[in-house]
Structure 1
Amino acid sequence: MSNLELEIKQLIIDSLDLEDLSCEDIDSEEPLFVDGLGLDSIDALELGLAIQKEYGVKLDSDSEENRKHFANVKSLAALVAQHRS
């Protein structure tokens, strides 16, 4: 697991108040929404804002790409890494 994936897992836990989870409980390839972690649309908004604030990644709320970027921790890490370079 990369450091960035670990950071994003901690960001998910902190921004969504998931105190009963640890980073080790979240599989990087597990879906974040519905199945897997079971997040909902409100969680998506909060997580999107946290990603913008922490990493400066601008997200277009109408973009179909968001579904792909927010699929799992690995895809979020790839999005952040892309914006860092």
Structure 2
Amino acid sequence: MSLETELKAMIIECLDLEDITVEEIETDAPLFGDGLGLDSIDALELGLAISKKYDVKIDAENEETKNHFASVANLAKFIQSQQ
């Protein structure tokens, strides 16, 4: 399973998105706003799950963090760069 697919599954599981499948989450689509429609609470929950699973440090105050969470593709690149 690719990191992107793993992340999509994690998003669905972590945020209880029962009405959506891994296939329906586009790798390059925005996770917030017009894309998947996640909000800041979702970002916190997802950030915690990613920190635990992949042992990466996510700085909520850092402006770059918003870019990392922009899409599944960006998240995958960020995690790979931290390992």
- For the superposition of Structure 1 and Structure 2, which TM-score range results when normalised by the shorter chain? over 0.9
State the match for 1:82 in structure 2.
81
Deviations 1:32-62 (Å, cap 9, x if unpaired)?
0011100000000001001101101111110
Q: Secondary structure at the match of 1:37?
A: coil
C-alpha RMSD of matched pairs (Å): 1.0
* Rounded Cα–Cα distance in structure 1 between residues aligned with 2:59 and 2:65: 8
Shift of 1:75: 0.1
Which portions of structure 1, spanning 4 or more consecutive aligned residues, are displaced by more than 4 angstroms? none
- 1:2-81 alignment runs, 5 A limit: 3-81=2-80
Shift of 1:17: 0.5
* Rounded Cα–Cα distance in structure 2 between residues aligned with 1:72 and 1:32: 5
Normalising by structure 1, what TM-score? Answer: 0.94
Shift of 1:83: 1.3
**Identity, % of aligned positions:** 55
Normalising by structure 2, what TM-score? Answer: 0.96
Shift of 1:20: 1.2
* Rounded Cα–Cα distance in structure 2 between residues aligned with 1:61 and 1:68: 11
* Rounded Cα–Cα distance in structure 1 between residues aligned with 2:41 and 2:65: 14
Q: Secondary structure at the match of 1:33?
A: coil
Q: Unaligned stretches of 5+ in structure 1?
A: none
